[in-house]
Amino acid sequence: MTKEKQQNYTEKAKALVSKMTVEEQAGQLLFDAPAIPRLEVPEYNWWNEALHGVARAGVATSFPQAIALAAAFDPELLQKIADVVATEGRAKYNANSRHGDRGIYKGLTFWSPNVNIFRDPRWGRGHETYGEDPCLTSRLGVAFIRGLQGDGDVLKAAACAKHFAVHSGPEALRHKFDARVSEKDLWETYIPAFEACVTEADVEAVMGAYNRTQGEPCCGSDLLLRKILREKWGFKGHVVSDCWAIRDFHEHHHVTNSAKESAALALNAGCDVNCGCVYAQLMDSYKHKLVTAEKIAESAVRLFTTRYKLGLFEGSEFDKIPYEENDSPAHNALAVKAAEQGIVLLKNDGVLPLKKETLRSIAVIGPNADSRIALKGNYYGTPSRYITVLEGIRELAGNTVRINYSEGCHIQKDKVENLARPDDRLAEALSAAENSDVVILCLGLDETLEGEEGDAGNASASGDKKDLLLPAPQRKLLEAVCGTGKPVVLCLMAGSSMDLRYADAHCRGILNLWYPGAQGGLAAARILFGEVSPSGKLPVTFYRSTDDLPPFEDYTMRGRTYRYYQGEPLYPFGYGLVYGDVYAESACAESACAAESASAESGVTLRVKVRSNSKTAIQDVLQVYVKPLDSPFAPPNHSLCAFRRVSLAAGESREFELAVPARAFTVVDDNGSRVSGGKRYRFYAGFGQPDARTEALTGHKSAAVEVSL
């Protein structure tokens, strides 16, 4: 959107707001803004969700959970998905508005994406994010926003980058917790994705976090909302509080004494929309001279600017999107494709792909084998059709292969039937395994075990995990089934790093399905039977346990994520196998492969020659990591700086170019300033990290090239 168009919308908003009383203006700052009939302003509810599809508003296409979309390492795919989400959001908005329904979850302001960094695998909401790396999260966040908002003079929908900032658990403490970090960690890890969303993608909204950061509640932080967001980054959109977060100011953070003081603190800091009820006290704040009429009007103008930008007063081409665009066959096909690209093959000793012409029977076992809830993650819409893993396998196996199914165990309890003895499905599972040629064992979690505080049903209702282990009944089932001697392929459905040491030692294959969307079982089956080669990569580190991780409450990056972790992971960030073998043969810098042609101002182009020894066509993700060799401020390990999804024919050797941005030649010093990383840099190109564990798992080293400025 041009600056001229933005200014035009702002002027129209100012003209409209000037006709309102202060009380009317204050009312418009509530998430459920009331109508103003005398000005022909309809009611509007700002609260809508679209993490991986239009959520909580009835039927919509159900895409894989955000962490699974991140595993595809494919910004172009994510932009297409977000465009589909905006299309369906418009289709639903148009239909609902015609029927006078302007309630919650029915608007065009979507509180997505979640670009927080998944710094600790115990965090229950980590599967809403794009993983642990600032580069990957930035590229995917920008892509999602561009897809959702479009590139015209009218927003197709409005995106919201959340939760600003330094927010990643513990869920049980979020209403009172102060996440204090060093300036280096703040600017190197926690806020680069937000900066990219604002300065590159022109995101329309930013949501504050529940916690405090550096002592200030995020939804009332002068540092975050004024100094960084608006002054340093030039943000022109609106800020929304997380839901009932402003109430926490006086009830839990104890930085204010009353609702009217909390409302004033948030508004004066620049929070425009209150998800919650505290802004109902704004007129009380105004009467006590805690806020000015000018501040109230300023926020109202920002909000009406967004409504004008969405075409809600003057109409737009998007008003013609019909209801039939919602949940269409094409959109569901894209969801299945996304699931295929996000599934990660962690181990394969040759058992995969399955050859159904040689199989008489397959055992499909486990609490997630036929689970619909494990397909969805959280923040989801209502699917019109589910395809579980069991159903997907049945569909592709055909009539010649017998499927022996057993739930095996409850997802977390010691029995399925309340009146039964413990382990009441174990004998059935063993019988199914013993009478089959191969076992597909579907274990993991779902949103009742990892998720947002209050939504999950674990012991503390916090949504976080206390460790990385599978629930005890599942561990018992895993060991028992592996003990039958039958070849076992574990299909893990979870949104985070799990302790898979036993499975790695005893299962012949491991597929990480994440929460793959409503029809994700079809994608899993297509990969199991070799119709599609797996190509997903881990956007998070799979640790062996939490024993050598810092305490959950410690927000320092030291010892966390692949950039700072000093131990040996079980499966590294960026890792994922394909059917076959692919590797980088060589890498060089710039067109003439002359390292001195690199520039810290313009970046560098790497040319990477890769070879596939696969017998079929495959896709894989080519990754580039950088290690500054001179700077004391560089992270101890390498950092992702570029990536590209590539396609290769069977046995093909090919050269690809990857543009490494100028930012790769910088580091963040202890004061939080981004400075030059020195004169010498080593770049690594390959299909995973340049670490010893990835080399051991893949059998290949990354191609390396040194660049001197």
DSSP characters for 398-458?
A: -SSSEEEEE--S-SSSS-SSTTSPTTTTHHHHHHHHHTSSEEEEEEE--TTTSSSTTT--S
Residue type, 219: C
User: Do the strands 438-444 and 488-493 form a parallel or antiparallel pair, or are they unpaired?
Assistant: parallel
Residue with tokens 């943000």: 235
- By C-alpha distance, which of 451, 461, 473, 466 is closest to 366? 473
- By C-alpha distance, which of 678, 686, 680, 688 is closest to 704? 686
Q: Which of 83, 202, 242, 446 is catalytic?
A: 242
Measured distance CA(528)–CA(589) in Å, rounded: 38
Query: Token digits for 504?
Result: 């790695």
| Residue 674 phi, psi dihedral angles, 5° rounding | -85, 120
Measured distance CA(547)–CA(6) in Å, rounded: 51
Residue with tokens 């960084």: 228
Residue 471 DSSP label = P
SS3 373: helix
Measured distance CA(483)–CA(405) in Å, rounded: 18
Catalytic status, residue 242: yes
Q: Which residues contact 148 (CB under 8 A, 6 or more apart)?
A: 50, 82, 83, 85, 86, 110, 112, 156, 157, 158, 159
- By C-alpha distance, which of 116, 120, 104 is closest to 47? 104
Residue with tokens 């890792």: 575
Measured distance CA(465)–CA(446) in Å, rounded: 12
Measured distance CA(221)–CA(215) in Å, rounded: 9
Judge whether 240 and 111 are in contact, CB under 8 Å.
yes
Measured CA to CA in angstroms, residue 697 lies from 166, 538, 548, 644, 659 at distances of: 33, 14, 22, 21, 27
Rg of the chain over Cα atoms, rounded to whole angstroms, equals 26
Strand partners, 607: 588, 657
Measured distance CA(488)–CA(351) in Å, rounded: 9
SS3 485: coil
Helix or strand holding residue 659 (H, E): strand 653-660
DSSP characters for 185-205?
A: HIIIIISHHHHHHHHTT--SE
| Residue 647 phi, psi dihedral angles, 5° rounding | -115, 140
Measured distance CA(300)–CA(429) in Å, rounded: 60
Residue type, 532: V
Give the HSE-up count for residue 174: Cα atoms under 13 Å, Cβ half-sphere: 29
Residue 273 DSSP label = B
DSSP characters for 22-87?
A: HHHHHHTTBSEEPPBGGGTB--EE--B--SSSS-SSSB---PPPHHHHHHT--HHHHHHHHHHHHH
Measured distance CA(140)–CA(113) in Å, rounded: 9
- By C-alpha distance, which of 490, 486, 487 is closest to 500? 490
Measured distance CA(313)–CA(431) in Å, rounded: 64
User: Mind telling me the catalytic residues?
Assistant: 242
